[in-house]
Structure 1
Amino acid sequence: MSADRTPDAARKRRRRHTRERQAVVFGVLLGGLAVAATGAAAVYSGGWSPPFLSRDFSSPEPTGLAAEDSPCPPEGATPVPYGQVTVNVLNGTNRIGLAGDTASALTSRGFVVGQQLNAGQMGYTTYTGTALIQFGTQGVAQAYTVAAQFDTPQLVLDTRADATVDVVVGSTYNALVAAADVTLQADQPFPVPEGCIALDQVSPVPQPTAPPATEAPAEG
């Protein structure tokens, strides 16, 4: 029997192969650790930002109560029961039936709907936002109660003497905020929206007036 075929030689070959495999495994592991360490150092130093770190995993921004530059709610003002708020719903777009659909949605929540018309019939123009909510000094709490039903509406103070609220529904409006997402609490003051203007620093605009009577089409 030749020397390389003896049991002792076979054992040596197995040990050598085992050492070779172990060397390969350890080499791969060490190489992987080196790459990981280099990458970690680059991220830590700001030299590299992996794709998964650039994703936005934050929660969606909560729905705003009002757009910037809206009048702030008075300090300590609390929501008004829906049944005590009279809303005029106006279609500020060319989408037929928008005022009616919005009025129905508000009515289903308990609001009192006064008029539902095209915006032009009440002296307003078209509106490109979600909703324009216009009101007088007597209706600020009512307006903010209505505003909570819309996604970041624009609030405007005008010269009317009563507490009615006009809502001009705009081109980016799709639906009311889900009732479950309306966070008003009867005994909790309205939160102050970011970027709003103190009420005593706002100059009221003239209340819109209906144009002279014409053969205007009814809001469909």
Structure 2
Amino acid sequence: MTSPGYDQARVERRRREHERQAVVFGVLIAFLAVCGIFALAVYSGAISSPFNRPFTTVGAAEQKTYPVPCLPKVKGQPDGALPASYSDVQVRLLNASEEIGLASAHETVLADRGFSIIAKGNVPVQLQESEIRFGRKGIVQAYTLAAQFPEIRLVLDDRKDRKIDLLIGEEFEAPLDVEDVELTADQPLRNAEDCVPSGDIEPEKRIEPSATDDEDQPAK
């Protein structure tokens, strides 16, 4: 036979357990409610998410967005500028990443296609994406080289000649296969989307390499 004292103790113990459970469930429900309100605010745009940030490459400089110059009018080509002959495109291959050997790898592909590789080297900057840098006289040459890649940045700088630089970044895109290059000698080049007349663009300062010729070292 159970004593009245024992029954009372058991009832009191169950009451305390129920109180603890009520507190725990209350805290959980309140936490979920707060999370729901926060998620709704983020979804509606009332506040910005603390996790909404782009991926970046460690050690690579943030790259500006540059206006892309339109193709120039060329005498004798009334329908638009035709691609430059590959042999007339003089290119310096400059490593702008921590990887070694990128200039040489690009040289193999581009030289086989007939581009004139005049130097290899590295620049004292690190870039995420590859860039083609050129002056106003080298716009057609730059577009011709750019057609070899699925996507690449075009940057007008203050050089005065037709030579162009290919700065190879950390997240470089390899050249397209020859059959995928959409260039035909007798078909005019197409302007980049949202291009700007070159005369309306303030050229960037030319990036001088820290070493050229046979160098193919990581960028400092």
TM-score, with length taken from structure 2: 0.61
The correspondence of residues 159-170 of structure 1 with structure 2, limited to 5 A, is: 159-170=158-169
Q: Secondary structure of 1:143's match? A: helix
Structure 1 residue 92, shift from structure 2 partner:
1.1
Deviation of 1:174 (Å): 4.1
Deviations 1:20-42 (A, max 9, x none): xxxxxxxxxxxxxxxxxxxxxxx
Match of 1:70 in 2: 68
Summarize the alignment of residues 81-120 of structure 1 with structure 2, pairs less than 5 Å apart.
Answer: 81-120=85-124
Cα distance, 1:134 vs. partner? 0.5
Q: Distance in 1 between matches of 2:152 and 2:182?
A: 16
- In the other structure, the counterpart of 1:195 is 194
Q: 1:218 maps to what in 2?
A: 215
What SS does the aligned partner of 1:71 have? coil
- TM-score (normalised: structure 1): 0.61
Q: Measure the CA separation in 1 of the matches of 2:195 and 2:152.
A: 12
Task: Give me the whole-angstrom Cα distance separating, in 1, the residues matched to 2:133 and 2:216.
Answer: 20
In structure 1, what is the Cα distance between the partners aligned to 2:155 and 2:209?
Answer: 18
| Deviation at residue 173 of structure 1 after TM alignment | 1.6
Match of 2:141 in 1: 142
| Unpaired stretches in structure 1, ≥5 consecutive residues | 1-66
Residue aligning to 1:128: 128
Contact kept, 8 Å, 1:68 with 1:193, in 2: the verdict is no
The separation in 2 between residues aligned to 1:95 and 1:112, in whole angstroms, is 23
Whole-Å separation in 2 of the counterparts to 1:188 and 1:170: 30
- CA distance 1:101–1:156, change in 2 (3 Å): same
Is the contact made by 2:133 and 2:157 (CA closer than 8 Å) also made in structure 1? yes
Alignment-mate amino acid for residue 194 of structure 1: E
Whole-angstrom distance in 2 between the partners of 1:151 and 1:69: 19
Q: Distance in 2 between matches of 1:160 and 1:79?
A: 21
* Equivalent position SS for 2:196: coil
CA-to-aligned-CA distance 1:177-213 (integer Å, 9 cap, x gap): 11111111112221122122222211112222345x8
Alignment of structure 1 residues 30-41 onto 2, 5 Å: none
Whole-angstrom distance in 2 between the partners of 1:194 and 1:161: 25
In structure 1, the residue corresponding to 2:160 is in which secondary structure? coil
RMSD of Structure 2 on Structure 1 (CA): 2.1
Q: Which amino acid aligns with 2:131?
A: L
**Which ranges of 4 or more aligned residues in structure 1 deviate by more than 4 Å?**
none
Between the aligned partners of 1:135 and 1:204, the Cα distance in structure 2 is 9
Q: Distance in 2 between matches of 1:134 and 1:209?
A: 11
- Counting aligned pairs with the same residue, the percent is 36
The Cα of 1:157 is off from its aligned counterpart by 1.1
2: distance between equivalents of 1:210 and 1:110? Answer: 24
Higher helix proportion (structure 1 or 2) = 1
Tell which structure's C-alpha radius of gyration is larger: 1
Q: 1:210 to 1:182 in 2, by over 3 A?
A: closer
Contact 2:122 2:209 in 1 (8 A): no
> How far is 1:68 from its partner?
7.5
